[in-house]
Amino acid sequence: MTSDDPAAGRPPLPLSGAGAPAWPTGPAVPLAPPTAQARTNGYAVAALVLGIVWLLGLGSLLAVIFGHLALTQIARSEGWEKGRGMALAGLILGYCGVALLLFGIIVSATTSPS
Domain housing 50: 40-95
Q: Is residue 72 part of a domain?
A: yes
Q: Is residue 60 part of a domain?
A: yes
Q: Is residue 104 part of a domain?
A: no
Q: What is the pLDDT of residue 54?
A: 84
Q: What is the pLDDT of residue 12?
A: 64
Domains: count for the chain: 1
Q: Is residue 59 part of a domain?
A: yes
pLDDT in tens, the chain (114 residues): 555 666 666 666 556 666 555 655 655 666 666 567 889 999 999 999 999 998 888 999 999 999 999 999 999 999 899 999 999 999 999 999 999 999 999 999 999 776
Question: Following DSSP, what letter does each residue of the chain receive, concatenated?
Answer: ---S-TTTTSPPPPSSSTTSPPPPSS-SSPPPPPSSPPEEPHHHHHHHHHHHH-GGGHHHHHHHHHHHHHHHHHHHTTTSEE-HHHHHHHHHHHHHHHHHHHHHHHHHHHSPP-
